[in-house]
Structure 1
Amino acid sequence: MDYHVKDEALAEKGKLRIEWAAQSMPVLRSIRERFEREKPLQGVRVAACLHVTTETAYLAQALKAGGAEIRVCASNPLSTQDDVAASLVVHDRIPVFAIKGEDKDTYYRHIHAALGHKPAITMDDGADLVSTLHSDRRDLLEGLIGGTEETTTGVIRLRSMAEKGVLRYPIIAVNDADTKHLFDNRYGTGQSTIDGIVRATNRLLAGSIFVVSGYGWCGRGVAMRAAGMGARVVVTEVDPLRALEAVMDGYQVLPMAEAAPIGDFFCTLTGDIHVIGREHFQAMKDGAIVCNSGHFNVEIDLETLASLAVSRRTIRDFVEEFRMEDGRRIYVLGEGRLINLAAAEGHPSSVMDMSFANQALCAEYMVKNAARLERRVYRVPEAIDREIARLKLESMNIAIDRLTPEQEKYLHSWEMGT
């Protein structure tokens, strides 16, 4: 079996950590049990470019239980949990190509390795598999029946491809499922981002000024959790509707140029490039801490920061100090990459339970409906979204009401007035 992980001796530790995560993933467990019986993915080759965490490992096990032949690579050079990667190789015989801290060349070699078995389905977290297939491995496009995309950033890229008519196979935007972005993006990113910042810095958030750049679902989650830790939250936005919502939620809204001189912590979650740049670095106070929880490490203009600095050093794990000519120090966490995965463990497994349930069920859906899917980006079918929510509530022993026949009729009629 072809694979590339850091150390197979870590496999036992990884196995226990996967088992721990699985205890909080009852929805995916129920899907896995059904997959084991029905084998809906029998013989289907899957390439998954995802964060190699305990939760991803449980998804990979579920897909294999359903009959899939799966290969896994990392969707971020710093997000791999090496013990988990080793466990998938040693205990599950799943080829994994991922090492925490891998350089850019290795990262792309691993992507090509994951595509080496000519997949029929891709699973992406940022659309790097799709972009590689459309640039360097176009020879594999004809064999693809579909793909899934986990992130906001990836969906933006894929919709752009579809609009320009260059997308060569159908993709389901898992990120757009309500059971994904309303929970994973908000509660998962919120908690895990704060977790990563605190683990990396051990600094107190209470009483600080915490600048959140981008008030999408991820930004909402981080703002909510930072405020819950006692920080005074400032939001920066370019969208007037989101900025207005942030104001109504009780946060101060400022342009980044005005937030830069007052912020103690800065976290970008926009999906765009150079959100924090030269003018902001020049205005920041001594000791400002800058990090990113958007998918790619482009939101902070690190090249410009390096050019402004007279010295730089790693002062503790995942914390790099840039000293300015005037003596000010700016600290960048996790090389500007996803801080929740670079310095912490990513989203809690109970929220990833729903996200990865979407991945598993959408893979099954594509296999069943391959003949009628067009080359465009689809939403997750509403029936899948609602079934996952139902299963999650059931696992929490929570019951809800059902419409009576009279109520159903009323909602679907126009004859009855006030």
Structure 2
Amino acid sequence: MSELLERGASRTTWIRSRMPLLAATRRDFAERLPFAGRRVGMSLHVEPKTAVLLEVLAAGGAEIIATGNHGSTQDDIVAFLRDRGMTVFGRRDDTLAEHEANVASVVAARPDIILDNGADLAAGIVATGATDTVVGGTEETTSGGIRLRGELAGHVPFPVIVINDSPLKAIGENRHGVGQSVVESIMRITNLMIPGRRVVVAGYGWCGRGIAQYLRAFGARVAVAEIDEIKAFEAALDGYRVDELGNLAEWGELFITATGHPGIITDEVIERMPSGAVLANAGHFPWEIDTEALYRGAAAVTELDAAIERVDLPDGRELILLAGGRMVNLAGREPKGNSLEAMDLGFLLQSLSLERVATAAAALAPGAQPVPDDLEREIARRFVRALGANR
């Protein structure tokens, strides 16, 4: 066994042992084989928790054709999944063009069911006209849901269950999972002190709520930039300073984007930031921080660590960019992602939603839609029992 494969196997063994909801589902799927004869195409972060999800689907009879997301693929987990007979494309150091080719390879495999993250597979399938073999799929993220209901609206003739619409995912995975892991990852990457630090969180959706909550728990002084009036109202009543991002630029020392939309930290915002400010992104796509404008206007860019770049500006200021503007909790150094319990919940949502697509797609409407209510309630009951909250 190669060192890479051995490390991937060991890490997955630990993760698997702490995900009881998926363990029970794996046993159930192995008996019923709901994916027998089905090819599942996946575009999702390839890391140990995802490996456990794919094991569950494979136990249910699925053939797996998969790739990761740009910059977050973990090579030891790729080696482990390939050893388990799955077809997995990609490496951690893939260029964007290579990543796009990996996505195209999954699309070219003509999957029956897609497990999507950011709607990359759905967009590729629509663009190539390969919709005839797809019975349906799931979408993991806010960003993907926006694409399905925006640029792809009316073009996806099969059902796509948007996992991010689930209140269970919003509370368990986004607020608590992402909130904890983003703050933890920034601390691990930078080794900076959080107590007393002035932090600006752009976006007060569920991920932004969680990031702000965990920052404040560590003692940070937190401000929220939010353009939605209701969410801004909520942030204000939760006790945060609330203002436009441009007005907070001079105040902040650490800026974290969590909106799912492009062009949040722009040239105009960058021009007002103090020297030494740290920029991090928690959104799915690396487009919330305008890194092209940041690099283009730089006098010099220096890699200080695997996930830390110092950007020297012509006016003498320096800004610190983490993970190249990609998801800081998955593309940074020693990526851990969300907590095991949060992902046990989130991937149970994925598993049962994919089963619903595999067995009852004809009963679902085409296009983006929420997780069926009966699945939400069943999963909530299972999670509370597993957590021991009723003891």
Task: Note whether the superposition's TM-score is higher than 0.5.
Answer: yes
What SS is found at the alignment partner of 2:271? Answer: helix
Letter paired with 1:148: T
Which structure would you say has the larger Rg? 1
1:130 to 122, 125, 129: 122
State the one-letter code of the partner of 2:43: C
CA deviations on 1:163-198 (whole Å, 9 max, x unpaired) are 4x2222210111111221211111111111112211
Which position in structure 2 is the counterpart of 1:80?
73
- AA at the equivalent of 2:126: H
TM-score for both structures, normalised by structure 1: 0.90
Name 1:360's counterpart in structure 2.
351
Cα offsets for 1:302-325 (capped at 9, x unmatched): 122122211111112211111112
Worse-superposed segment, 141-150 or 23-32 = 23-32
Match of 2:24 in 1: 30
Q: Which residue of 1 is the match for residue 147 of structure 2?
A: 157
- Tell me the distance in 2 between the aligned counterparts of 1:342 and 1:28: 25
Rounded Cα–Cα distance in structure 2 between residues aligned with 1:371 and 1:241? 37
Q: Distance in 1 between matches of 2:368 and 2:26?
A: 26
TM-score (normalizing by structure 2)? 0.96
Deviates more, 1:195-204 or 1:245-254: 195-204
- How far has the Cα of 1:162 moved from its partner? 5.9
Matched AA of 2:71: L
| Of 104, 112, 122, the match for 1:120 | 112
Q: 1:9 to 1:97 in 2, by over 3 A?
A: farther
The worse-fitting range, judged by mean Cα deviation, of 45-54 and 340-349 is 340-349
**Amino acid of the structure 2 residue aligned with 1:131:** A
Ranges in structure 1 where 5+ consecutive residues have no aligned partner: 1-6, 401-418
1:102 aligns with 2:91: no
Are residue 145 (structure 1) and residue 135 (structure 2) matched?
yes
Residue-by-residue CA offset, 1:215-234 (whole Å, 9 max, x unaligned): 00000000001111111001
State the secondary structure of the residue aligned to 1:171. strand
CA distance in 1 between counterparts of 2:232 and 2:112 reads 41
Structure 2 CA distance for aligned equivalents of residues 160 and 261 of structure 1: 34
Mapped pair 1:370 → 2:361 = yes
Which 10-residue stretch deviates more, 217-226 or 104-113? 104-113
Match of 2:188 in 1: 199
* Structure 2 contact 34–61 (Cα < 8 Å) conserved: yes
Paired AA for residue 375 in structure 1? P
Q: Does 1:286 find its partner at 2:280?
A: no
1:43 corresponds to 2:37: yes
What is the CA-CA distance between 1:101 and the residue it aligns to? Answer: 2.3
> Cα 1:278–1:182, aligned 2, differ >3 Å: closer, same or farther?
same
Contact 2:7 2:76 in 1 (8 A): yes
Q: Which amino acid aligns with 2:115?
A: M
Tell me the equivalent position of 1:53: 47
Question: What is the alpha-carbon distance in structure 2 between the residues aligned to residue 382 and residue 190 of structure 1?
Answer: 25
Q: Secondary structure at the match of 1:312?
A: strand
Q: Which amino acid aligns with 1:66?
A: G
Distance in structure 2 (CA, Å) of the matches to 1:316 and 1:63: 37
d(CA) in 1 for partners of 2:131 and 2:116?
15
* Matches for 1:322-401 after TM superposition, within 5 Å: 322-343=311-332, 344-399=335-390
Change (3 A) 1:246 1:329: same
Once the two structures are TM-superposed, the CA of residue 374 in structure 1 deviates from its matched residue by 2.8
Cα deviation digits, residues 339-380 of structure 1 (max 9, x gap)? 010112211121011111111111111122122333221211
Counterpart Cα distance in 1 of 2:151 and 2:97: 25
- Aligned residue identity for 2:88: V
Distance 1:396 1:350 in 2: 9
RMSD: 1.4
Structure-2 residue corresponding to 1:270? 259
Question: Runs in 1 of length 4+ with deviation above 3 angstroms?
Answer: none
Q: Which amino acid aligns with 1:127?
A: A
State the partner residue of 1:404. Answer: none
Distance, in Å, in 2 between the alignment partners of 1:216 and 1:291 is 17
Quote the offset at 1:161 in angstroms: 4.6
Quote the sequence identity (%): 38
CA contact (8 A) 1:26 1:392 kept: no
Say if 2:123 and 2:152, in contact at 8 Å, map to a contact too.
no
Query: How many aligned residue pairs are there?
Result: 389
Are residue 239 (structure 1) and residue 239 (structure 2) matched? no
Once structures 1 and 2 are overlaid, which stretch shifts more, 374-383 or 229-238?
Answer: 374-383
* Distance in structure 2 (CA, Å) of the matches to 1:8 and 1:103: 25
Kept in 2: contact 1:9–1:86 (CA 8 A): no
Distance 2:134 2:66 in 1: 17
Shift of 1:98: 2.2
| Counterpart Cα distance in 1 of 2:272 and 2:373 | 47
Aligned position for 1:410: none
SS of the equivalent of 2:150 reads helix
Q: Distance in 2 between the 1:283 and 1:162 partners?
A: 36
